[in-house]
Structure 1
Amino acid sequence: MATFTQTLTDTVGKLTLSGEDGPAATEAPSSGYKYAHLLPEWHRHLKLPPLEPFEHVDPGHAALKDPHPQSFLDGAKVQQLTPNVGTEVLDGVDLTKLDARGRSQLALLVAQRGVVVFRGQQAFIDADPRWQIDDWGSSFGRVHIHPVSGFAKDIPEFHLVWRDATGTSDERHYEGRINNLTVHSDVTYELQPPGLTTLFLYDSPSSGGDTLFISQTEAYKRLSPSFRSYLETLSVEHSGFEQAQRAIELHGADTVKRAPVKHVHPLVRTHPVTGDKALFVNRGFSRRIIGLKQEESDTILNLLYDHLERGHDFSVRARWSEPGTVVLWDNRVTAHSALVDWNDGIQGRRHGARITPQAERPFL
């Protein structure tokens, strides 16, 4: 079997390859499924150059100067899901109608609460994908195109999630494990990882398939002051190479859209709007602490991973069983994991799209 470096040199470095598309998920547009045209395919023709740095100004800054920074919620029914993380907006807000002021207020609320769940947003889910990306998504940052995920035809900016009752090839990742928890923050290997992120499902099982969110801000606060001070002196390497290798094994080397990268970020980062500090490590992409010996690095990182994954008192589950649900979270201060818990004969598909605007380069 060719090494990853050899495969990468032979395939990803080319600007153009065969125009043949990879396999679709499972269903054809003629299947009768309303959103079959938005199922993922692993395209072999899209090859992207490396990402260039850009200046990001978070829209939440404007809300800090707003005399009524939550006026977009006037008349809405709102409840806190837990004391430390998570807010649910049951009605009274139409995301498709928010103007620039409303979006800046939304960005601030998501930064403060980590994750906000909106119900009754079918109009948003069924909106034109180009509006969702070019208008909605781009108002929160430069919309990221995932380097290896499948996407619907002509919509590479959508990171699509997909699983049906029969499972997917991606579940090889769970073989040999006693659970499928994969706590992570999205694409932290990028120089400028995502900020405010939007996810909505076209279809979901009647129960199960929730998303677990963990407050990395609260996780940081729970540590002792002296340990926090030490962690603030450390930086961590984040790598996308392992994800690219798994994509090659599952879908073929010529489906990688952009060559993988590694970047170093502070272990503790500061949110540019709230000023809150948060842990910025995750088992999915963090690889080593710069300057420490391997055993030292592994010990600290594994302690922090376990701390995040066991933090039930600073986590929340977003439930998707109610149609019209849209979830927004701040990728800078939360970690998350999909929960694949509706197999073993339970019927249903989980299919949705994530819009992932990039934010600033992490800083302490």
Structure 2
Amino acid sequence: MFAQLLWSLSVLLAALSGTADSNGWTLQSNFLITGPKASLTYASSVAAGAQTAMEECKHQFSWDRWNCTDNALSMFKPNTLPANRETSFVHAISAAGVMYVLTRNCSKGAFEQCGCDLTNNGKKAEGGWTWGGCSDDIAFGERISKMYSDGVENGQDARAAMNLHNNDVGRKAVRQTMKRVCKCHGVSGSCTTKTCWLQLADFRAIGVFLKKKYKKADKVDYVRGQLTENNSASSKRNTGLKKDMVFLEDSPDYCRENLTVGSRGTLGRECLRGGGKNMDKYEKKSCKRLCKDCGYVPKRITTEVTSSCNCKFHWCCSVKCSQCTKTVTKYICVQRESSKNRRKNVRKKSKQRRRNRGNN
């Protein structure tokens, strides 16, 4: 069994950013110092998978009150994150990320032990097509991911059961989102025969899939060594729960800063306004969710952003760019003005308008 892999989001983020905790721990050094030599083969893929997972976590929660921030989680040691819905997502997306990158790198020939999954090649499938090509070997990715992500859970309590369950939900998501890719064979572009194989979906699709699982997660109890639907001994214990993300504790009020439960609050957070064409419904309501519903108000601010522009290729061989500055409008959540300050500002603006009219 692998040595203890500190599998909380916060530790992974610290490791991947090249930092360490007070004991000098990093993901890579843990493998080098305590892990068996076999683990070195996969260490970089595990790290890349964790990084992929965390980037996707931030994307999926970018306009939520809890937004998967580094700072909100960096204080926690393993298994001290609250056993709530957000921690469930962390475990699921992390296990999925590691499995995903291991599987992808396997198909690319990064490991001697695996390559394409040719198990079904040559077999006929319903619909008249034939298995062929290079299917991604998800069985390999799943097996190695399980050794890493599940290896840390040595306990037999409710928390360990929850973590292992959500790790499994994450790995299942990789399987459930795989896509079938086909190639036609025939004269003059006809599709007389068709060869198909299974391929990993984009990791974004896995993130979307798991975010839906997060929203429908079940609160559970731990009864006689099994996870059971909260306050119930229903049959869902053995059927539906296997497919669902589960949690043990309710989430805190993420509107307010509360570092003991990993909440940075929404004060100072950016939200979106204006209803642009590229904004979805969830993004359009971000100012209400992050500001108004939390007792704050969205404040319009302008800031200047400098970036490279007008880039040109010069022979040979360099690219030269200008530096362009543009004014960007943003909205951030701020405290509401007190009634006294509001009246004071109204009087001040009124005086300014009268003064301006007098000058004209």
Short-chain TM bin: under 0.3
Greater RCO, CA 8 A, separation 6+? 1
Tell me the TM-score normalised to structure 2 length.
Answer: 0.23
More helix by share: 2
Larger Rg: 2
Tell me the TM-score normalised to structure 1 length.
Answer: 0.23
